[in-house]
Structure 1
Amino acid sequence: MPDYGHEILFGTFLTPDAHNPDQVVALAELTEAAGLDLTSFQDHPYNAEFLDTWTLLSWVAARTERLRISGNVLSLPLRPPAVLARAAASLDRLSHGRFELGLGAGAFWDGIEGMGARRLTPGQGVEALREAVDVLRGVWDVSAPGPLRQDGTYYPTPGTQRGPEPAHEIDIWLGAYQPKMLALTGQKANGWLPTLEYLRSPDRVTANRLIDEAAVAAGRDPREIRRLLNLFTVDVSSRNRGFLQGPAEQWVEQLLPMVLEEGFTTFLIGRDDPRLIQTLGQEIAPALREAVARERAAGTPGTGPVRSVAALAERHPGLDYDALPQSLAARSVEPGDPEYDGVRHSYSWPGAPALVIRPQAVAEVIDAVSYARTQNVPLSVRSGGHGISGRSTNDGGVVIDMSLMNKVEVLDRATRRIRLETGARWGHVAQALAPYGLAMSSGDYGDVGVGGLATTGGIGYLARKHGLTIDHVVAAEIVTADGRLLRVDDEHHPDLFWAVRGAGGNVGVVTAIEMEADEVDNVVYAQLVADATDTAGLLRRWGQLVEEAPRDLTSFLSLFPGRRGDPPTAQVTLVFAGDDIEAARSALSPFLEIGPILDQQAQLVPYPAIVAPPGNRHRGQGLNDTRSGLLHHITPEAADRMATMMDSGDVMIMQVRSVGAAVNDVAGDATAYPHRTQNFSVIAATVPDRRAHLDKLWTELYPHLDGLYLSFESDTDPDRLLDAWPEPTLTRLRAIKATYDPDNIFNRNFPIPPAGDTEDEAVANS
């Protein structure tokens, strides 16, 4: 049999010993620490000597961070599929996509029947399993209309709600030996999970052939099915006693033909032996992976996991999928893939990209950029994917999704030096820094990604005290358009370092940043709800109070139009950056006079509590037509124009954020964010059918504005370039673009034309 090309995985098959539960969990933790990929447990609920497998899986998932978990195999007759589907999806979500479903038709029927389940013949067991697989996938398919309804002899489902949706596409691996079960594996499963010691008839070659034939007959490619293998009679302490009973080099020699000739790519060791687990992770696994990679590179068949015919039919004609580097094959999501709906949209904008690449390492980012620049399609780079401006997804293009590169590190507590990978979310950053008494001002929403905000500006709840997020960046690691990885700071590529802080999305893919965090523990967090019938007056009073407030206080004001006879309302958020209650009360109290107060609350809370990441699904559900501007002061004229906008009913929300103070301590030419004299940032948002009305209203406010905040502006008209980067900033950015991105590969984050691009000279100089 050929090499089916899957990634080589190693793991353990541990005994769920009820007499030594701590030892079982410790072995699972050792499995992860040794660098292995997966741990699994046998499932015999009728055996009083064993822990309940599902409870054990949940416990181990909570005690580990990276390790995949699975039953090996779960007894279907004792776990009804509709209930099992919800349990599996729940555990997958709680473990962030680390659960796989090893499933069996049933064995040890005396025990199963003794617990009240129906005894089945082998043929009945196969048909019951066939029905169960359809129920499982039906419950997980939340995109299908209506409840799941399925006829069946063994598992009829007259009508059940679908969901929850798993965090990733859960693989279904079947423990199969006989021809009918092997055929079912080829028809419906993601993997075949036998035990070597039980493979008597049919043998491995015949079994693989039966699976492949059934897959082809069902319209599938056999390479869609992973081949896993449990191994029990193994040892590393002896010398050449037999198959897999010898040193690491003997294991590699004996496993290599099983990969290349029989297609097995996942090996699970059924020995509760710490030394064997460590040797497997530290010596055998890396050596076998190296040997397999060498053979594959030399021409051994095996192109990696493949997509079904139905999935291939969903590909976009404008993209050369075959040119995708092999290093990215397992990191890419196409329109026909089950994971596609989870990665196609941003929070605010719907999207239909031709390909989403999800790198886990810098080398993969380099490969992704090199590939994308060969394709004549849009390229978007996404960190968290909140995406108010709409630049983190596209239609028909490539998205480089950085969310899997999300490490947060405190490099040096004494100097407050931290390192963040750009796929991390700010809520997680806040949680990671809190034990050190540190925090970063980073917007108002913990689900926002590090990369987008930390390369644009970062107007957060601590802005007036601690400045913009970009003002704390001391170094960055960036992949440029020509595929180089550069570390930039004040001494290395200082021009690029300058550009990263304010226009980073225009000059490359920032993979990590180093920052100096602030000493922040608890803060006073207050919210007011006010009647905004006198919208202009409320805005003026709030703006004046903000400018008069101590720097410790930062405030955001959100206006909502009246509905169904209710007056318009204002929600005011106030954050005092410290735990001095009396000072906070003195700073907050004047805001009670901005207008009729309908509700109020204030509390002393840890900073992470106010930016906790909600973990929202991204379905393009936000208001995606937005306009952004900056104000020096909320003058009566500006307040009147903003009030007119809210009275029109064409604006769904208007938000004003306070900046100034520490933000304006930084020189205007110190970073590519030049707006260092304004005190307020304004955003207005509406729905698409009212965009024209918003534009007309915004035109009336525009003369009172000076500049814009890039991440809040969805209009990328080149005429607005000088609002984002007034001269001489724009000319300097164009020169840097000409050096690092002369072909304008990174053109989604406002299309800055490189210097020398004569076609755009007139626009840039207008």
Structure 2
Amino acid sequence: MHYGRELQFGTFVTPVNDPPQQAVRLAELSETLGYDLVTFQDHPYQPAFHDTWTLMSWVAARTSRIHVAGNVLNVPLQREPAVLARASASLDLLSGGRFELALGAGGFWDAIAAIGGRRLTPGQAVEALDEAIRIIRGTWDAGNRDRFTVPGEYYHVDGAKRGPAPAHDIPIWIGALKPRMLRLIGRAGDGWLPSLAYLQPGDYADGAARIDEAALKAGRNPAEIRRLINVAGRFTNGAGGGGDVRRRGGAIEGAPADWVEQLLPFVVDDGADTFILAGDDPTSMQRFIEEVAPALREAVERELGPDASAAVIRSTASLAKRRDGIDYDAVPASLAASAIEPGDAKFARVRSTYLRGGDPGLVLQPTTTAEVVDAVAFARANPDVPLGIRSAGHGISGRSTNDGGIVIDLSRMRAIDVLDEASRLVRIEPGARWKDVAAALEPHGWALSSGDYGGVGVGGLATAGGIGWLVREHGLTIDHLRAVELVLADGSVVRASADERPDLFWAVRGAGANIGIATAFEFEVDEVGTVAFAQLTFDASDTEAFLLAWSDWVVDAPRDLTSFLLVQPAGGGRPPIAHVMAVVDSDDADTVLARLQPIADAAPLVGQDVRLTSYRGIISNSSDGGHSAEGEPLSRTGLIGRFTPEFARDVARFLETGASYFFQVRAAGGAVHDVPADATAYAHRDAEFSVVAMGTRARRTSETWDELLAPHMSGAYLSFETEVGPAQLAAAFPPATLERLRRIKAEVDPGNLFRDNASVATEVGV
């Protein structure tokens, strides 16, 4: 029977080491010709062969698309299974998800024993392989917090650390012919990899039946198991149609049409889905992929229909981790192949955000606006589960992940394009990170003020405000927005600008998460050259006095200066420490020193670093790694004018309580004041500073904030606010702003689909 998998084709290259590059060149040729997979046998006792792991690593580095596997790796001569698992995950991560793990239980026992390997009976070899597979899978299960123990007879772990998770769900294919091994495949394998040369007529069908029987007995779907075959033979120039077809020792001989005739029954009748050509002849490799592969695909389609190979097949173990309330079977076809579920290897990298642990039930990763429309339709059809919208996953508020819900992850939409050089108009997709934007703009001598961390995604910041390193001179990020493409709750795609849907354009600049999903932004960026970046560290024993001095310095400074302040409470015998970071938009040393001198005299200076750099040099301050946070941090935020003595006093008291481990103040005035308060949904244009305190419920951070600091605030910036409720909405949006937002929300999202990011709707459905 056919199992619904798409046909794939690979090569089986001999890993000869004389000349050293021959196997590598054939692997590169395999990719050039369009093969899906290149494989190498593993015989470590053979001095004429390369070490297979070294060869696979070299080939993965020399190629960009083709997948790599052993055929098959000799488990008795591999390292401990946990180490093998990490080696596999490492190669998969380094290659961008292009490694497949194919294993064999042994064989050639005299040769194995001769180089120090353990000699096993066939039954012992199967048991050892079974234990190894359990350890390998347990090691890859990076998100599992249970104690990792496998008390095997041949291999064991006891309290071993798990991880890393590979880049994709690495399948475990097993080379096998005998019944016990076939039953192991059905019970624990992801693929069967025999060689046609070792099969007698009927053996493949019998083996497939044994695997299916064992899979069903283990509660698995037989379709989970890929069916691969190593095939070999010789091409002749005889006419097709079967007249010259001869099978000699499992080899195929004939014209391409004869190969198709011989291979077709393996697909249609026995479920084979991957054919791997054994041999090192470049001409045969080319004929097989160019003449046999397409003709075989066409023949399969004629026999089984055009949709026979369209299934996305997940393992039974993966399906068991699905969450209630989500109609997984209805995931749109455009998103099914890239959808990430809790049972998938990639899930560990998308479940959480920068600071917050999460456990969503489904992560959709659209790459186009049309796919975002499909994702919104799916979310609309699953209204009873949480919905998070994510650009790059920084999201301090935590609302871009959830527990058991859907996340629409826009991180694969990362294009950055210059639309008009003269007007400095650029188009940026929401999944781009700000350090990527800075890198793209720098060659033009441009920059766009955008927060203080390069790992933040464009989408979240550019729909909230954007208080960045150039804010006092160039305003908020949203002040540079000229148009935005939005997918609304009903799936319609609209363009909003000052002239097109101005109501939406007003709302998206400060409350965009309530209105729809932004799929592209058009910004008018600034000319920004060399700037100075200063990092100054002060003894802030007199915290109140330093806060007042810093506030006055920033407010009274020319707009070419923007500063952020981080205050570290006293602890461990040291006084409170104030970390001042400042950008001066000038490359003139005298100007820079003149801007910094007033704050340098405010308190004892214990550390300093002032350098000339580019905006890109400042904002490229994040790694490219995924987010894997745990826990649920708490963050409170407020907007305020020039500091008063009373506010400085209460900040000092707040820090002394230990309520916060991170207390930051960002300048938010200057050019921000130039935009009328009612011009955007970000209405607190009179504020000079944005204040953020992070802590935990155990520290009573929120209660202490409300007692000491909230009374001083005149607004809030919701991107840093984890508390949700009427009080937070009222702080973020003045009454007239909130009323207008609610009218727009009722028009474009009457069902409150976008409800899980500080919804302005008065109640669900309004």
Structure 2 partner of 1:676? 685
Structure 1 partner of 2:366? 359
Structure 1 partner of 2:248? none
Structure 2 partner of 1:645? 654
Could you tell me how far 1:529 is from its partner in structure 2?
2.5
Q: TM-score, normalised by structure 2?
A: 0.85
Structure 1 partner of 2:134? 134
2:167 paired with 1:163: no
Structure 1 partner of 2:87? 87
Cα distance, 1:452–1:275 mapped onto 2, change above 3 Å: farther
Which of 363, 378, 387 is the aligned partner of 1:379?
387
Structure 2 partner of 1:394? 402
Structure 2 partner of 1:444? 452
Residues in 2 aligned to 1:286 and 1:584: alpha-carbon distance in whole angstroms: 66
Could you tell me how far 1:620 is from its partner in structure 2?
4.2
- Of residues 395-404 and 488-497 in structure 1, the stretch that sits farther from structure 2 once superposed is 488-497
Q: Percent identity at matched positions?
A: 51
Structure 1 partner of 2:756? 748
Residues in 1 aligned to 2:718 and 2:236: alpha-carbon distance in whole angstroms: 59
Structure 1 partner of 2:722? 714
Cα distance, 1:759–1:70 mapped onto 2, change above 3 Å: closer
Which of 475, 479, 489 is the aligned partner of 1:481?
489
Structure 2 partner of 1:588? 596
Could you tell me how far 1:471 is from its partner in structure 2?
3.5
1:175-206 Cα deviation digits (max 9, x unpaired): 22332222211111222233445443663222
Q: Secondary structure of 1:332's match?
A: coil
Say whether the 8 Å CA contact 1:475–1:514 is kept in structure 2. Answer: yes
2:689 paired with 1:689: no
1:265-292 Cα deviation digits (max 9, x unpaired): 3444556688988899899989988998
Structure 1 portions without partners, runs of 5+: 761-766
The correspondence of residues 225-624 of structure 1 with structure 2, limited to 5 A, is 225-233=225-233, 240=240, 259=267, 261-270=269-278, 303-308=311-316, 311-337=318-344, 339-375=346-382, 376-408=384-416, 418-431=426-439, 439-490=447-498, 492-518=500-526, 523-577=531-585, 579-605=587-613, 607-608=616-617, 610-615=619-624, 618-621=627-630, 624=633
Cα distance, 1:501–1:111 mapped onto 2, change above 3 Å: farther
Say whether the 8 Å CA contact 2:367–2:412 is kept in structure 1. Answer: yes
2:453 alignment partner AA: Y
Which of 612, 616, 631 is the aligned partner of 2:640?
631
- Of residues 205-214 and 393-402 in structure 1, the stretch that sits farther from structure 2 once superposed is 393-402
1:78 alignment partner AA: L
Could you tell me how far 1:393 is from its partner in structure 2?
1.6
Structure 1 vs Structure 2 CA RMSD? 4.1
Residues in 1 aligned to 2:362 and 2:510: alpha-carbon distance in whole angstroms: 27
Cα distance, 1:16–1:667 mapped onto 2, change above 3 Å: farther
Q: Secondary structure of 2:579's match?
A: strand
1:69 alignment partner AA: V
1:495-527 Cα deviation digits (max 9, x unpaired): 434433322222222234344555557654332
Cα distance, 1:726–1:321 mapped onto 2, change above 3 Å: same
2:270 alignment partner AA: E
Cα distance, 1:503–1:246 mapped onto 2, change above 3 Å: farther
Cα distance, 1:512–1:8 mapped onto 2, change above 3 Å: farther
Cα distance, 1:725–1:272 mapped onto 2, change above 3 Å: farther
- Of residues 218-227 and 658-667 in structure 1, the stretch that sits farther from structure 2 once superposed is 658-667
Cα distance, 1:350–1:115 mapped onto 2, change above 3 Å: same
Say whether the 8 Å CA contact 1:73–1:102 is kept in structure 2. Answer: yes
Cα distance, 1:715–1:482 mapped onto 2, change above 3 Å: same
2:736 paired with 1:737: no
Say whether the 8 Å CA contact 2:427–2:523 is kept in structure 1. Answer: yes
Say whether the 8 Å CA contact 1:35–1:281 is kept in structure 2. Answer: yes
Say whether the 8 Å CA contact 2:364–2:409 is kept in structure 1. Answer: yes
Cα distance, 1:288–1:590 mapped onto 2, change above 3 Å: farther
Residues in 2 aligned to 1:427 and 1:35: alpha-carbon distance in whole angstroms: 34
Q: Secondary structure of 2:454's match?
A: coil
Say whether the 8 Å CA contact 1:147–1:162 is kept in structure 2. Answer: no
Residues in 2 aligned to 1:381 and 1:203: alpha-carbon distance in whole angstroms: 51
Q: Secondary structure of 1:211's match?
A: helix
Say whether the 8 Å CA contact 1:660–1:677 is kept in structure 2. Answer: yes
Cα distance, 1:299–1:171 mapped onto 2, change above 3 Å: closer
Could you tell me how far 1:685 is from its partner in structure 2?
1.9
Cα distance, 1:43–1:714 mapped onto 2, change above 3 Å: same
Structure 2 portions without partners, runs of 5+: 246-251
Residues in 2 aligned to 1:250 and 1:675: alpha-carbon distance in whole angstroms: 76
Q: Secondary structure of 1:331's match?
A: coil
Q: Highest CA radius of gyration, 1 or 2?
A: 2
Say whether the 8 Å CA contact 2:6–2:309 is kept in structure 1. Answer: no
Residues in 1 aligned to 2:749 and 2:262: alpha-carbon distance in whole angstroms: 49
Could you tell me how far 1:687 is from its partner in structure 2?
0.3
1:677-722 Cα deviation digits (max 9, x unpaired): 322111122202344x534533553343332212111222134334
- Of residues 213-222 and 43-52 in structure 1, the stretch that sits farther from structure 2 once superposed is 43-52
2:388 alignment partner AA: S
1:561 alignment partner AA: P
1:604-627 Cα deviation digits (max 9, x unpaired): 456246533335654444762222
Residues in 1 aligned to 2:600 and 2:174: alpha-carbon distance in whole angstroms: 64
Could you tell me how far 1:226 is from its partner in structure 2?
2.3
Say whether the 8 Å CA contact 1:425–1:613 is kept in structure 2. Answer: no
1:371 alignment partner AA: F
Could you tell me how far 1:320 is from its partner in structure 2?
3.4
Say whether the 8 Å CA contact 2:39–2:71 is kept in structure 1. Answer: yes
Could you tell me how far 1:671 is from its partner in structure 2?
3.9
1:529 alignment partner AA: T
Say whether the 8 Å CA contact 1:530–1:571 is kept in structure 2. Answer: yes
Structure 2 partner of 1:180? 180
1:90-147 Cα deviation digits (max 9, x unpaired): 2233344443212222355565455433444544433332222122223333455687
Say whether the 8 Å CA contact 1:260–1:300 is kept in structure 2. Answer: no
Say whether the 8 Å CA contact 2:487–2:493 is kept in structure 1. Answer: yes
Residues in 1 aligned to 2:422 and 2:68: alpha-carbon distance in whole angstroms: 39
Q: Secondary structure of 2:582's match?
A: strand
Could you tell me how far 1:482 is from its partner in structure 2?
1.8
- Of residues 343-352 and 429-438 in structure 1, the stretch that sits farther from structure 2 once superposed is 429-438
Could you tell me how far 1:392 is from its partner in structure 2?
0.9
1:350 alignment partner AA: G
Structure 2 partner of 1:73? 72
Residues in 2 aligned to 1:477 and 1:22: alpha-carbon distance in whole angstroms: 50
Say whether the 8 Å CA contact 1:13–1:269 is kept in structure 2. Answer: yes
Q: Secondary structure of 2:537's match?
A: strand
Structure 2 partner of 1:764? none
- Of residues 440-449 and 427-436 in structure 1, the stretch that sits farther from structure 2 once superposed is 427-436
Residues in 2 aligned to 1:517 and 1:250: alpha-carbon distance in whole angstroms: 62
The correspondence of residues 94-243 of structure 1 with structure 2, limited to 5 A, is 94-106=94-106, 112-143=112-143, 148-157=148-157, 160-200=160-200, 203-233=203-233, 240=240
Cα distance, 1:139–1:472 mapped onto 2, change above 3 Å: same
1:425-450 Cα deviation digits (max 9, x unpaired): 33444456556665543322233223
Cα distance, 1:581–1:90 mapped onto 2, change above 3 Å: farther
2:732 paired with 1:724: yes
